[in-house]
Homo-oligomer: A and B are copies of this chain.
Amino acid sequence: MRIALLGTGGVCHVLAPALLDLGHEVVVGTRSPRTTLDTNTAYAELAARLPALELRTFAEAVPGADLVVNAIDGPSCVAALTPLAEVLAGHVVMDVSSPMDWTVPDAVLDPVNTDSLGERLQRALPRARVVKTLNTVAARAMTAPEAIGDGDHTVFLSGDDDAAKAVVGDLLRALGWRDVLDLGGIRTSRATEMMLRMWIDAVTALGTSMIGFKIVR
């Protein structure tokens, strides 16, 4: 596939090499490629290490992509992607965002309970096919489920478009996920986004961010 990976932060650093390793074309989207290369030294190093990686503006990265990944930080992703509603029409958008500002100590979730980032993104991009996933593990576990309990834990899918969920589910299995649980419509993003509170508290209690949730049945 050709995958547009929007965002140049921690998730991009994990997903870009893993997706290239799987044989996909990866084009990273950013607000300004020039600014990213000039000021984001971590990204510049990643680009130097991965010469196959393309870098474009958000709007340039999307056309021709078989899959678009929202890897923009949670608090700003809806505002960043809303102007792309037309460009993203028809595209499968894999949303891995979390409803928390990590720069604020002891933050609470926003949105929560009666809404979710997954739903906000789907409302902002009404003709895109949003699939929420991978937001219940640390970034470095997204592409390495086997690094936690030999991979015996669950990843979730939420979305209103079954064909879009099938595309994302296939990618997750290629990344090594064995238990891919389809929770239902995009509204079920609330469930996975609200697990962030448990993720943080369990990580604090256990002293490691390499934890996974398994739905035992």
Q: Which A residues lie at the B interface, using CB under 8 A?
A: 108-109, 112-114, 148-149, 152-153, 181-184, 188, 190-192, 194-195, 197-198, 200-202, 204-206, 208, 210-217
Contact = CB atoms under 8 A, between A and B. Distances in A.
A198 B132 CA distance: 14
Contacts of A113: 108-109, 112-113, 197
B183 A191 contact: no
Contact of A206 (B114, B149, B217): B217
Contacts of A212: 215-217
Contacts of A201: 183-184, 188, 191
Contacts of A114: 108
A188 to B, nearest CB: 5
So how many copies of this chain end up in the complex? 2
Given A192-B198, A195-B198, A213-B216, 12 more contacts: A112-B112, A113-B113, A148-B217, A149-B217, A153-B214, A184-B204, A206-B215, A210-B217, A211-B216, A212-B217, A213-B213, A213-B215
Nearest to A193: B197
A216 B149 contact: yes
A202 B183 contact: yes
10 contacts: A112-B112, A113-B113, A149-B217, A153-B216, A183-B202, A188-B205, A210-B217, A212-B217, A213-B213, A213-B216
